[in-house]
Amino acid sequence: MADDPFILFDTWFAEARESEPNDSNAMALATADASGRPAVRMVLLKGHGPEGFVFYTNRESRKADDLAGNPAAALLFHWKSLRRQIRIEGPVTDVSDAEADAYFATRSRDSQLGAWASDQSRPLASREAFEARFEDMRERFEGGDVPRPPHWSGYRVVPERIEFWQDRAHRLHERRLFTRTANGWNQGLLYP
């Protein structure tokens, strides 16, 4: 195994892209609000490297509210076909406007329009109401580019801990933990 957690992540992630039938970049995102109440949901990894793991969302969503009050998170990748998982924990920072704009420009037009139409995590009277808002956005931006909404951006989880878990027979799993220090990464094993 690699001594650099990002090299190991890249290796496992490449294998997941080959073996997982859907959304190999899906990760569980756990947050807690300012009072400590936890919440978890699935999001998609849209960038990663030594500076952190990036996802995008509506800044008026519950996850964004949680991160505003408690800017720390945990991520979990679970690749059942490989019998592996990776856990990542650390503080959360905002991506730059330039990064958010660049990623938003790669989204499908309907996804861009959906970002304008959705009041994510807010009560919705009916599916028809949302579909009508979506059609309003389609008309609003017809014939032009769809700019990134001011309430839509990204977050970066800056890892302080990265754990690689590999399933083994008889529940004798292998767990390898990397912990960030001022001089790089310490690594060791954990009992299963």
Q: Which residues are catalytic?
A: 171
Q: How far apart are CA 151 and CA 171, in angstroms?
A: 45
- Contact (CB, 8 A) for 144 and 71: no
Look up tokens 């309003």; give the residue: 136
- Residue 145: what are its φ and ψ, rounded to 5°? -70, 155
